[in-house]
Amino acid sequence: METKREFLKKLGLLTVGGMVGGAMTPAMAAKGTSGAFATNKNIGLQIYSLGRELTDDVPNGLKKIAEIGYKSIELAGYRDRKMGKIEVADYRKMADDAGLKITGSHVNPPIRKYTKDNMGEIADFWKQTVEDHIKLGVATLVQPGMPTIDNHEDAANVCEVFNKAGEIVKEADIKWGYHNHDREFQKIVKGESTPQTSSHRSQKGDVVYDLMLNGTDPKLVFFEMDVYWTVMGQNDPLEYFEKYPGRFPVLHIKDRSILGKSGMMNFRNIFTKAYENGLEEFYVELENIKEDITQFEGVKRCFTYLNKAKFVK
């Protein structure tokens, strides 16, 4: 079986591999342009990146995000019809006051195993969720948690639920999408049950992510690709952009740590192909900082990297 290291090395000319594929380090990006930050780049931030640094003081935290230069945010933390402990209308006002536009939100239904019996309950959840997110003014609602998919029947149920969620959300003029991690790139064999665990990777069968893409209606369901997790799932984002044109209008831009620093993610190629594929919005997501800095400093460095990059429009 091919190791992840071998896969990443092989992929060097496409998506990873540092300078071979045209990736820039933050220092190189900084030398590429001079002067003040551009004001026309719409760079978004997934607020999950900040954790308690934001939730401990949301009004001032949102202002700090805007001061860095981010124009839009994607929410995380909606539960019990609130954003954390804050009423949704109040959260919207805080964002407005900070000069930020809430364009998206990550929300998971409280059910992991989808069956014919609980599809109505999940649909009711999305109906309620839409009511609150209309108040937040979002353009997209995204599910970031993978449901249980151990076999083809599970996959079919998930696709049915996704399509129904898309129908419900579309009535409010909002788009519904799904965000991947790496387990979606595991395989399941038709007629067999294969529990999807982080340690299991079948060499045969159908890729779960492809079953999701092929089993959902493009008019109802889009996919917010997390490019880092796609690579960690031993797949090339560019190949998916080519295979499923128009299905990835929103991206999560992530690296092992600060964007561009690892040298393993070729963001130049990713952005170039994504724009050709109809990219409408992207969000920085930062996890696992490898340096002794705050999350706010981390997302600031990520913004600087993208803002200086000529391949980001």
Please tell me the pTM assigned to this model: 0.88
- How many other C-beta atoms can be found within 10 angstroms of the C-beta atom of residue 157? 21
In CATH, what number is assigned to the domain containing residue 234? 3.20.20.150
Tens-digit pLDDT profile for residues 18-68: 333 333 433 333 333 333 455 579 999 999 999 999 999 999 999 999 999
Q: Are 264 and 16 in contact (CB under 8 A)?
A: yes
Q: Is residue 218 part of a domain?
A: yes
Tens-digit pLDDT profile for residues 102-146: 999 999 999 999 999 999 999 999 999 999 999 999 999 999 999
In SS3 terms, 128-141 reads as: HHHHHHHHHCCCEE
The residue among 309, 257, 244 whose CA lies nearest residue 288 is 257
C-alpha span between 136 and 57 (Å, rounded): 19
Q: Is residue 240 part of a domain?
A: yes
> What is the pLDDT at residue 5?
60
Q: Is residue 121 part of a domain?
A: yes
Give the distance between the most distant pair of CA atoms in the chain.
Answer: 60
Q: Are 188 and 205 in contact (CB under 8 A)?
A: yes
| Percent of the chain's residues with pLDDT above 70 | 85
**Measured torsion, CA atoms of residues 96, 101, 104, 110, in degrees rounded to the nearest 10:** -10
C-alpha span between 189 and 198 (Å, rounded): 17
Q: Is residue 313 part of a domain?
A: no
What's the number of domains the chain is made of?
1
C-alpha span between 76 and 81 (Å, rounded): 13
Q: Which residues contact 73 (CB under 8 A, 6 or more apart)?
A: 44, 45, 46, 47, 62, 65, 95, 100, 101, 102, 103, 104, 283
User: Residue 106: which domain range?
Assistant: 4-308
